[in-house]
Amino acid sequence: MGRRLVFALVFIVAGCSPGNGDESTTSRDLPTTSTSATPTTASTTFLSTTSTTIPAPATSTTVGLDDTALAYQEVAVVDFPVQMTARPGEGLSYLITKDGRVWIFDGSAVAVRPVLDISEQVHDEGERGLLSIALHPTDPRRFYLHYSDSEGDTTVSEFTLTSPGEADPDSERVLLQVEQPAGNHNGGMIQFTPEGSLLLGLGDGGGADDRFGNGQNPDTLLAGLVELDVEGDPAPTKHAMGLRNPWRFWIDNTSIYIADVGQDTFEEVNVTPLEPGLNFGWPIAEGIHCFDSPAGCDTTGQVIPVIEIRHGEADTCSITGGIVYRGPALPQLSGHYFYSDYCGGYLRSFRHADGAATALRDWTAQTGIAGRVTGFGIDGQGEMYVTTTDRLLEVVPAG
């Protein structure tokens, strides 16, 4: 009791913000049209954790939908958690830390011993590391990790649980490896589609200004969404293109919400049907603006973001998506998408309806600044969590 997870980690902005090689650009407005077999139970020891609700700033006022008020409840102190996930209806969640460890969270505490430790084979530096986790939708024994290998290249692997609290490190089955030409824009998220395919988000290869020419190149897996069949031939298929660095996306029924990190002017959120062949426009466009093209640009056939955030607003530098809330604690917010920013640390939401972002809300006056937000997550009941560089926070009703 009383111990904390303490790892020496270094993390640069999760999506590539000014200061890591990106250069200033000139932009021009675009038209604002929208487009629309269970493992046996193991005994697991948990850390003691805090359960303090962070007070809102003294000057805050109620800002919310139908008088809803939100707060953060700090539930664990952890160094560099980046995502949490759970199977629907289950009491245990899986939390990953960027250094290469998978942990169990039981709703009140994080386990003392990791479920899996692959830190020796993970290159944890800058935007590289253990970046995402996905649980198999029907087989509770299997889960998947996206990490940077010892060479810094993208690896997606399957692992097997021997119990809910322990995985076999020798069970690794590598599904995909992609060479990364630079240390940034490695993407991040993996998540299963309703049809059972595993979807991976990859950035454009790094640097600035689409240095490697991957944004509009259909012959590379970079700068897009990659689809994998975990049951049969895992040969990858490029599902979508034109993404700069989709650090986090979220699949909600038949829709996908993609928080794509911008260069040095605009961040964006795209919402589209979960269908192949889409083009999200990078580097032709950044947000709803032409990128580095004062004379204008042709965005025919491209997805136009539903939200953009200009750098300089609320300390915005690198967007962090985000989940569509479907939990029982706040039914009035069901269907609302929540997101933040690595530098800004705010909490914002909107509801996507008729091809547009509606019911836009900024909850930060209530919740306060979370810190450097690295990701979001859900527990088995669908309640929402936020990960920062040093804490796991639950979003709860205030009052």
Domains in the chain with CATH codes: 27-397 (2.120.10.30)
User: Which are the contacts of 217, defined by CB distance < 8 A and separation ≥ 6?
Assistant: 223, 241
Q: What is the model's pLDDT at position 163? A: 96
Residue written as tokens 């547009």? 356
C-alpha pair distances (Å), 286 with each of 140, 147, 253, 264, 340: 40, 27, 27, 9, 18
Q: Which residues of the chain have pLDDT under 70?
A: 1-64, 66
Question: Which pair of structure tokens corresponds to residue 109?
Answer: 């505490």
In angstroms, rounded to a whole number, what is the distance separating the alpha carbons of residues 389 and 399?
A: 26
Give the DSSP letter of residue 46.
B
Q: What is the model's pLDDT at position 54? A: 37
Q: What is the model's pLDDT at position 58? A: 37
Find the Cα–Cα–Cα–Cα dihedral 383, 76, 347, 10, rounded to 10°: -130
Residues 183-198 have pLDDT tens digits of: 999 999 999 999 999 9
224-247 burial, b at 16+ Cβ within 10 Å, e below that, comes to: bbbbbebeeeeebebbbbbbbbbb
Q: What is the model's pLDDT at position 392? A: 98
**With helix as H, strand as E and coil as C, how does 60-81 read?**
CCCCCHHHCCEEEEEEEECCCE
Q: Annotate 260-287 with DSSP letters as a single string.
A: E--SSSEEEEEEEES-TTEE--TTTEET
Asked if 339 and 260 touch (Cβ cutoff 8 Å), the reply is: no
* Gyration radius (Cα) of the chain, Å: 20
Q: What is the model's pLDDT at position 12? A: 34
Beta bridge partners of 229: none
